[in-house]
Amino acid sequence: MAIRTFAAIDVGSFELEMGIYEMSYKTGIRRVDHIRHVIALGKDTYSEGKISYGLVEEMCQVLGEFVQIMKTYRVKDYRAYATSAMREARNNQIILEQIRVRTGLNVRIISNSEQRFISYKAIAAMAGEFNKVIQKGTAIVDVGFGSAQLSLFDKDALVTTQNLPLGTLRVRSLLAKIPATVSEHREQIEEIVDNELFTFRKMYLKDREINNLIGIGENILYIINRMDLKAYGDKIDAAAMNRFYDRLCQLTTDQIEEKFGVNSEYASLLLPSVVVYKRILELTGAEMFWVPGIRLCDGIAAEYAQDNKLVKFSHNFENDILAASRNMAKRYKCHTSHNQVLEQYALGIFDSMKKYHGLGSRERLLLQIAVLLHACGKFISIRNSNECSYNIIMSTEIIGLSHLEREIIANVVRYNIRDFDYDKVQLETQLLQENVPGYSRSSITILIAKLTAILRLANSMDRSHRAKLADCRMAVRDNELVITTGYTGDMALETSSFDQKADFFEEIFGVRPVLKQKRRM
């Protein structure tokens, strides 16, 4: 197979990065060039809420130079992603249009959960070491310039992932207006970090043992490059980090510039970075810190290679998304046995109706997650559970899902027990443009209606929560979805609920669902 040249562009909070990669199924992924330009977009966003015209001008100029470099390498394809600084800027849509007009690049703003999942794929591409490390309790720590992400693994299953407002640029912005000595600033940073980590520890680390940390992102690479780690390679222990921390705390920003040979921007970010990592090490009690040298651009390349079948991962990422969703359902006390039966029914209906719904594996995954979370709102209000479920899902990041995909799931759950109104489905138009190119508001509404119809029908089949139809078989015959069960007991509740949901299902698919009981005592 011919080698494909690909460019990955990261419009980050503190710098613009581009990686040039060669990839093929035979040789895998190889980075051949890496270009960086420091530009503190987040400095404007986190303090002013928007990016200034001067920075937009500089950004367009640098991205234009990236385009010329791509032509030199004869790049066949590219992906350009923007993260938190652009995501939180009020004028982001104007800036994206400026970039498109002036450079020809289409930059897509990705959600935080997508960003972290992409980086996670780059680690998983290092299959042997990654699979070995996560056999023990492991956390992936990604301290970026805008935020920090902590993802916990139990053996090879992802338990949870949480985003914390502990990005180094954001922390520095909080302290910028407070005059203080180096020692006082260190204590203030520790207070900020400890405050955010307290809740995380209480909710997710109660009985969990963390042996290993995996550090990714630009900040940890920058720290490692300033530490004397010849004896450690890409793995360090807490003692080495503590020695570097103690050494750094004795220096002013000017001294850091001189000693480490960096500019003032980087020097002022080094202390917040080290404090965050040190406190996380102490919080988890981890024995080892593995730094595989991963940047977001590497993750973008890994994602592209996987999507185009140029590489095959041994790790199942879909299982991670489902594991995170199941842990979320567990947190909100969802009925586990009912969910298991409901998954069987909903996926059975989806698979039986392939010729009629025209949906793919990604939509099947969204349906499965909707099943897992359909009753999470009962944790707050049994009477108004669907609205509470909507709010919980919209307020909780699920790794690997875009904001729009979460919005689709939230709406499916919302309309599970509410009349479907095509004109009042809550969608943010801006997010349609960012996350699903080529999709319109109406097509997303129809997708929500299809998944809602399947969830409603599946839910009606377990109305009593007693798995009476566990042995059922499904087949489409003569414009009817025939669901046959050998259950011999009373099915009055299921039959009544099924008949109520059948009309909406037929309205959406043009196929009438029919429930048949083989024999009855």
DSSP 8-state code for residue 50:
S
| Residue 217 pLDDT > 80 | no
Pairwise CA distance, residues 508 & 258, whole Å: 67
pLDDT of residue 415: 93
Four-residue CA torsion sign, 297, 149, 167, 83: positive
3-state helix, strand, coil in the chain (%, to 5): 55, 15, 30
Cα–Cα distance for residue pair 104/96, rounded to 1 Å: 11
Are β-strands 28-38 and 4-11 bridged in parallel, bridged antiparallel, or unpaired? unpaired
H or E element: which one contains 7?
strand 4-11
Q: For residue 269, with 0-12 CB atoms within 10 Å meaning exposed, 13-18 middle and 19 or more buried, which class applies?
A: buried
Q: Per-residue confidence at 433, pLDDT binned at 50, 70, 90?
A: very low
> Token pair for residue 276?
């965050």
**pLDDT tens, residue by residue, 333-378:** 999 999 999 999 999 999 999 999 999 999 999 999 999 999 999 9
CA distance 213 to 190: 20
CB 167 within 8 A of CB 132: no
Average pLDDT of the segment spanning 213-235: 71
pLDDT 10s digits, 174-197 = 777 777 776 777 788 888 888 888
The more confident residue out of 162 and 131 is 162
Least confident residue range of 177-186, 234-243, 267-276: 177-186
439, two tokens: 């999709």
Among 295, 292, 249, 242, which Cα is nearest to 270's? 249
Question: Taking a C-beta distance cutoff of 8 angstroms, is the pair 21, 29 a contact?
Answer: yes
Position 435 scores a pLDDT of: 44
- Domain locations along the chain: 2-109, 111-294, 315-515
CATH superfamily of 111-294: Exopolyphosphatase. Domain 2 (3.30.420.150)
Quick one: average pLDDT of 81-103?
92
* 499: alpha, beta or left? (left if phi > 0; alpha if psi -120 to 50): alpha
One-letter identity of residue 437: P
Give the confidence band of 100 by pLDDT, cuts at 50, 70, 90: very high
Q: Are 280 and 213 in contact (CB under 8 A)?
A: yes
Common-topology check for domains 2-109 and 111-294: yes
Strand spans (E) along 113-243: 138-143, 148-154, 157-164, 212-216, 235-236
23 near 310, Cβ under 8 Å?
yes
Query: CATH homologous superfamily of domain 315-515?
Result: Hypothetical protein af1432 (1.10.3210.10)
Which has the minimum average pLDDT: 439-448, 468-477, 481-490? Answer: 439-448
- What are the start-end ranges of the E strands in 365-502? 473-477, 480-485
pLDDT for the residue 502: 95
* pLDDT recorded at residue 63: 97
Q: Strands 28-38 and 15-24, how do they pair?
A: antiparallel
Q: How far apart are CA 32 and CA 298, in angstroms?
A: 11
Calculate the dihedral angle through the C-alpha atoms of 464, 390, 385, 349, rounding to the nearest 10 degrees.
-10
The position carrying tokens 């875009």 is 402
Residue 127: the pLDDT is: 60
Summarised one tens digit per residue, pLDDT across range 33-77 is 999 998 888 878 877 888 999 999 999 999 999 999 999 999 999
Q: Per the structure block, which two tokens stand in for 335? A: 């009925």
Quick check: helix, strand or coil at residue 290?
A: strand
Q: Is the pLDDT of residue 130 over 80?
A: no
pLDDT for res 1: 54
DSSP-assigned beta bridge partners for residue 33: 20
Token pair listed for 79 = 């992906």
Q: Are 235 and 288 in contact (CB under 8 A)?
A: yes
Q: What is the pLDDT of residue 233?
A: 63
Cα Rg of the chain (Å, integer): 25
SS3 readout for 223-275: HHHHCCCCCCCCEECHHHHHHHHHHHCCCCHHHHHHHHCCCHHHHHHHHHHHH
Q: What is the mean pLDDT of residues 395-410?
A: 87
Nearest residue to 401 (alpha-carbon basis) of 413, 412, 392, 409 = 409
**How is residue 47 written in tokens?**
């303090």
Cα-based distances in Å from 234 to 122, 275, 503, 511: 16, 20, 60, 58
Contacts of 513 (CB under 8 A, 6+ apart): 457, 480, 481, 483, 498, 501, 502, 505, 506
Q: b/e per residue, 153-177, with b = 16+ CB within 10 A?
A: bbeeebbbbbbbebbbbbbbbebee
Average pLDDT, the chain: 86
Q: How far is CA 172 from the centre of its chain?
A: 25
Q: Confidence band (pLDDT; 50, 70, 90) for 399?
A: confident
Amino acid at 452: T
Alpha carbon 18 to chain centroid, angstroms: 21
**Class of the CATH domain delimited by 2-109:** alpha beta
Instruction: State residue 429's pLDDT score.
Output: 45
Give me the mean pLDDT over the 503-516 stretch.
95
Q: What is the predicted pLDDT for the residue at 289?
A: 83
- Taking alpha carbons only, the member of 40, 22, 24 closest to residue 32 is 22
Distance separating alpha carbons of residues 46 and 326, to the nearest angstrom: 33
- DSSP tag of 417: G
Q: What is residue 60's predicted lDDT score, i.e. its pLDDT?
A: 96
Examine the pLDDT at 434 and tell me if it is beyond 70. no
